[in-house]
Amino acid sequence: MQKPLLLVLLLAACGPVTVEQAERACAERARLAEAPRGSVGVGAGSGGMVSNVELTVTSDYFMGRDPSAIYDACVYQKSGQPPTRPLYSR
């Protein structure tokens, strides 16, 4: 009896989200398609010098995909509806 209920709950969690939620989530993916993002940190402490480097590069960037098209497709895929406003008006 509990397995069907669990399956229904799992499937419900995979359902579409609101357009607003999808737009927020997809805007970051589109930004990463424009250019890589990263940060560099350097510091000193009692243990000596410390450094940290983070770099995020997506396949969308490497493939030269249009960030606006990525945004539109992502929002539609997540919500089942087109975006309420274009990427570049955000």
12 pLDDT band (50/70/90 cuts)?
Answer: low
Q: Rounded to an integer, what distance in angstroms lies between the CA atom of residue 71 and that of residue 82?
A: 10
**Once rounded to an integer, what is the mean pLDDT over residues 6-30?**
80
Q: Rounded to an integer, what distance in angstroms lies between the CA atom of residue 50 and that of residue 61?
A: 30
What average pLDDT does the chain have? 87
Q: Rounded to an integer, what distance in angstroms lies between the CA atom of residue 31 and that of residue 37?
A: 9
Which is nearest to 86 in space by CA: 74, 76, 72?
72
- pLDDT per residue over 45-71, tens digit each? 888 998 899 999 999 999 999 999 999
pTM, two decimal places: 0.69
